[in-house]
Amino acid sequence: MPSARPGVLFLSACVGEGHTAAAQAVSGVLNQRLPGMRCEVVDSYRYASTVFHRVASNGYIGIVKLLPQLYKFAYDQAERATKISAFKTWLHRYTALNLRQFVTALQPDVVVCTHAFPCGVMAEYKREFADAPPVVGIVTDFVVHPFWIHRNIDRYAVATPAMRQTLIGRGVAPQRVVVTGIPVDPRFAQTSSKRRARQRIGLLPDMTTLLLMGGGLGIGPLENALLAIERLGSRVQTVVIVGKNRSLERRLREVAHALRHRVTVAGFVPNVYDYMCAADILVSKPGGLTSSEALVAGLPMIMLRPLPGQEERNTRYLEERGVGIRVERSRDLTKVIAGLLAAPQMTERMRRNARNLARPEAAATVAELVLDLAAARTARSSAPA
């Protein structure tokens, strides 16, 4: 029997920090609503085969950095596929069986998946085990890849109405798809002044501030971007967040010493919301979580050399809505930043567009959805036979 206090298992994936950040955003709201609530955030790849775990976590980084066109080809082929491959079905089932003991011991009332892989695993788990808890899939981009789509997932939380129509068109029941936005930490919506936010993180309070990010894996031409910023005629300060990429952090610190502009290099930081609040412009790869955080923070974006696949599609979505500018080559970055700094009316318009598109309440909306499913399950288990 489930515990009287609801418990939620979040299944993420170790390919960047965004999937985990989405889980933590919803988990944080749930713990605020019900202090002491049982929430576990787990890397689902831990329960796949050892070889697949290594390929998924390490191979992904290598492919997207060194062979982006190969990644694009694989992504496009998978997007056009009309059915799941036999290997993927086997891998989902294999991982579901491995998860069985853990799920049985934890007895979650709801399982929340923030990546397509565990969503497929839980679809197999529900087919295999009659006592499976309800499952929620949180799609963490502005497009939905077919790998997410399974007809027996209880709820999907998606960013846009167009994504909802895509899922319905692929056979998912309309009542199972909810437009929530992508869940981010509510602190990205803070109303602190830029001056105060800069002081909190040790920056000069009255200087134009650029925020340069490479995601949790530190991917992207960050060194070349710093050199492009160095060519600006304007006086600016730059913060570079490289995530968990220690070698890149060391290299950029060395580069920063030789620059005339003020540069702060940071590794993984838990308070990205303070950095976004402090910044005037964000230069970043357009991952779904980073982009959603920037929207909530009302931060104009320069999307630098997006990766093929979901980032390419995120870029198109954001560019069409006037919240970001795409830059393919680092050497073009100087001109684009200079243009934005010289046109405050343009950056203000981008801020307004970002706030209009933002869903700061997304984590709370998903949390309510999870609690509703948990309550319904408890009610069913308590009903007389």
Same domain, 191 and 149: no
Is residue 256 one of the residues assigned to a domain? yes
Q: How far apart are CA 254 and CA 174, in angstroms?
A: 53
- φ/ψ of residue 8, rounded to 5: -130, 130
Summarised one tens digit per residue, pLDDT across range 258-282 is 999 999 999 989 999 999 999 999 9
Strand order from edge to edge, sheet including 301-304: 262-266, 237-241, 209-213, 281-284, 301-304, 324-327
Same domain, 223 and 269: yes
Is residue 2 one of the residues assigned to a domain? no
Same domain, 109 and 211: no
Is residue 1 one of the residues assigned to a domain? no
Task: Note the pLDDT of residue 26.
Answer: 98
- Tokens coding 101: 């003991």
Contact present, 180 and 365 (Cβ < 8 Å): yes
Q: How far apart are CA 183 and CA 189, in angstroms?
A: 12
Is residue 162 one of the residues assigned to a domain? yes
Same domain, 210 and 274: yes
Same domain, 160 and 95: yes
Is the predicted pLDDT of residue 62 greater than 80, yes or no? no
* % of the chain residues with pLDDT over 90: 70
- Tokens coding 332: 């073009």
Q: How far apart are CA 317 and CA 223, in angstroms?
A: 27
Is the predicted pLDDT of residue 22 greater than 60, yes or no? yes
Task: Note the pLDDT of residue 2.
Answer: 44
Provide the H-helix boundaries in 34-144.
Answer: 50-54, 60-66, 68-80, 86-106, 116-128
* % of the chain residues with pLDDT over 70: 86
- Tokens coding 296: 């909530």
Q: Give the model's confidence band at 219: pLDDT under 50 very low, under 70 low, under 90 confident, else very high.
A: low
Chain centroid offset of residue 363 CA: 12
Is residue 49 one of the residues assigned to a domain? yes
Contact present, 296 and 358 (Cβ < 8 Å): yes
Same domain, 32 and 154: yes
> Residue 171's domain spans which residues?
7-183+361-382
Start-to-end CA span in the chain (Å): 14
* Percent composition of the chain: helix, strand, coil (DSSP 3-state, to 5): 55, 15, 30
Question: Which of 70-84, 99-113, 223-237, 295-309 shows the lowest per-residue confidence on average (mean pLDDT)?
Answer: 70-84
The residue behind tokens 């993927």 is 88
Instruction: Report the SS3 class of residue 2.
Output: coil
State the average pLDDT over residues 150-159: 96
Is residue 120 one of the residues assigned to a domain? yes
Q: How far apart are CA 70 and CA 76, in angstroms?
A: 10
Same domain, 111 and 210: no
Same domain, 220 and 91: no
Same domain, 98 and 167: yes
178: DSSP letter: E
How many domains are contained in the chain?
Answer: 2
Q: How far apart are CA 326 and CA 342, in angstroms?
A: 18
Question: Which of 70-79, 343-352, 355-364 shows the lowest per-residue confidence on average (mean pLDDT)?
Answer: 70-79
Is residue 139 one of the residues assigned to a domain? yes
Which of 296, 289, 288 is closest to 315 using CA atoms? 288
Is residue 177 one of the residues assigned to a domain? yes
Task: Note the pLDDT of residue 51.
Answer: 46
Task: List the CATH number of the domain containing 96.
Answer: 3.40.50.2000
Same domain, 156 and 20: yes
Same domain, 28 and 144: yes
Same domain, 311 and 365: no
Task: Measure Cα distances from 87 to 92, 165, 289 in Å.
Answer: 9, 28, 29
